[in-house]
Amino acid sequence: MLLDDYMTRKPALFLRKLIRHKQFVLLLSIVVGLTAGLAAVILKTSVHYIEAYVREQANVDAENFYYLILPGLGILITVLFTVYLIKDDISHGVSKILKALSKGESKMKPHFMYSGLIGCSITSGMGGSVGMEAPILATGAAMGSNIGLWFGQSHKTRMLLIGAGTAGALAAIFKAPIAGVIFAIEVLALEVTAASIIPLLISAVTGALVSTFMLGKSIEFYFSIQEPFEFRNTLYYVILGIVCGLVSVYFLRTNSWIEQSVQKIKKKFWRIILGGGAVGLLIFLFPPLYGEGYAAMRMILSGNIHDLSNNSFFYNFDADSWMFVGYLGLILILKVAAMSLTTGAGGIGGAFAPSLFMGGITGAAFVKVVNLLGFTTLIQSNFILVGMAGLIAGVISAPLTAIFLIAEITGGYALFIPLIVTSSIAYITTRLWEPYSIYTRGLALSGELVTHDRDKSALTLLRVNEVVESDFKTVHPDQTLRELVDVISKSKRNLFPVVDEYFNYLGVITLDSVRQLMFEQTKYDTVYLRDLMQIAKDSVSLNDNLETAMVKFRKTGWYNLPVLNGEKYVGFVSRANILMTYRNKIREFSAE
């Protein structure tokens, strides 16, 4: 027996004899959590050492000038890696997960288990203004998918393992298992049942434990709440929610426009030079834009917000001046530009960390504006944290994830009420202008987003070739009514496709349309089928999904549509057959 056959079937067959399926899935969720946690540790460690090495090569005076070339060099190396070694598009990791869930039968290519880690390590470590979260999440999801395939699991179980990998990865990044589980449910839109929530929890806890064991208890920007929430500041949290929503709209639209603009540059070389050069220039002028931004977030949360201006032209401005507020505003505006230029030019990374960064800057700038205007004195750290949640809620369309993530990294629920208020308002405000998140926008515009609609998912996962019926008697346009009557007498169907000598589809004759004419025998030899056939309003191909077929059914009002392979007639697909198949698929989705 072939080795790959042994590797994919023997372990599963052996273990299935020992363990019941539900227990086996729980075991797999532990394995997925372990691998996702290791992936998070590897990427975070790689980025740390690459960035440390790069900084060691530059002395203090020359470091800013290194910023001009390092991001572009990192993007160049990343593009060479993806084009010549991986030979596949590995950008937009979370979108890849959503596409695998909706259209890929929960299958992710094996290289996603490592390609995103390598690409992001190079991009982010050398200064690309992106986050590590999306590549780590894609890695965890790919681990779940491929482990499921290795053990011969069904589509539904692989879907659950992808969610487990995603939950484990996010939990490992922030040591926040609850946020990891909620992210998998909220963003991936996994159906929550008693059978699915436990594997997600197990994987998330496992990922967090692995990360804690290998990296220690500290997280990216742990902060202990010093000042409790005051109800008299509720209005300011409401206003902050609106501001975060508007900033989220700016984030989404600017990111989309810049990425599309950069992608219009056909030659990759010039795309790298222009995109990488622009990122380097922005970081040279505004050093906080370097990398994912967690160092800057630690600065502002620790009360050292003025350190953001180190090595910049704004260093001499007082932290409590309007000029410094303007500096924060420029960082806010330019962070999304730096991120979009990095990914558009070919760098690998995500929008999660940039969203947190921009949320923190939004909260800090908001507090400074209110305090400078003399309305009241607000606690800066609280609004910075709540601002982070607001941007996550708006940009990623994940208010629950935002609320519980900030609650977990602050070690409690002291800010739970303002987190709920600001995140909810930011989410609602963003959705007024942008119906999709940064992860779903591209998929939705291309018609590939179906994960968030179970009915649509069921129809999209099924293909026309699975429901096509081909037992119809064909006729030719030059045949007479007499010949048609003879064909009808031998057929059990009421549709008669009309084809030419090359079997190209021309139209259809229905039994109802000729029923009365069949009794007029005087016309048997004078009426030809070309005069009786109905020209098809539309058709479907063998590779179309059933969602496409249903759209065409609604458009034409027909109950049967011809199925073509190019121009060649294959058969018909009926609305009734699709609905029956759909019901069976829904039962499969809903089964425990």
pLDDT, tens only, 341-379: 999 999 999 899 999 999 999 999 999 999 899 888 888
Both tokens of residue 367?
């507090």
Phi/psi at 463 (5° precision): -110, 155
- Alpha-helical segments (H) within 264-379: 268-285, 294-301, 322-345, 352-373
pLDDT tens digit string along 24-46? 888 999 999 999 999 999 988 88
* 403 pLDDT higher than 80: yes
Question: What is the Cα 172 distance to its own chain's centre?
Answer: 19
Domains and CATH numbers, the chain: 3-215 (1.10.3080.10), 231-451 (1.10.3080.10), 457-590 (3.10.580.10)
Average pLDDT over residues 574-585: 78
Best CA proximity match to 39, nearest among 106, 118, 92, 101: 118
- Max mean pLDDT among 135-144, 410-419, 452-461 falls in 135-144
Q: Are 348 and 90 in contact (CB under 8 A)?
A: yes
Q: Are 309 and 315 in contact (CB under 8 A)?
A: yes
Q: Are strands 495-499 and 568-574 parallel, antiparallel or unpaired?
A: unpaired
User: 3-state secondary structure string, 536-584?
Assistant: CCCCEECCCEHHHHHHHHHHHCCCEEEEEECCEEEEEEEHHHHHHHHHH
Q: Which residues pair with 262 in a beta bridge?
A: none
Residue 109 identity (one-letter amino acid): K
Burial string for 331-362 (b: 16+ CB within 10 Å, else e) reads: bbebbbbbbbbbbbbbbbbbbbbbbbbbbbbb
> Largest Cα–Cα distance in the chain?
102
Pick the range with the lowest mean pLDDT from 231-235, 296-300, 402-406: 296-300
| CA separation for the pair 449, 438 (Å, rounded) | 12
- Using pLDDT thresholds of 50, 70 and 90, give the confidence band for residue 457: low
| CA separation for the pair 524, 296 (Å, rounded) | 86
- Any residues with CB less than 8 A from the CB of 218 and at least 6 apart, and which? none
**pLDDT exceeding 70 applies to what percent of the chain?**
88
| CA separation for the pair 125, 54 (Å, rounded) | 8
Phi/psi at 564 (5° precision): -120, 150
Confidence (pLDDT) at 592: 44
Pick the range with the lowest mean pLDDT from 143-147, 262-266, 451-455, 545-549: 451-455
| CA separation for the pair 385, 419 (Å, rounded) | 8
Q: Are 176 and 408 in contact (CB under 8 A)?
A: yes
Average confidence score pLDDT of the chain = 84
Residues in the chain: 592
Question: What is the value of pTM for the model shown?
Answer: 0.79
- Max mean pLDDT among 255-259, 521-525, 528-532 falls in 255-259
Both tokens of residue 49?
């050492």
Q: Are 81 and 135 in contact (CB under 8 A)?
A: no
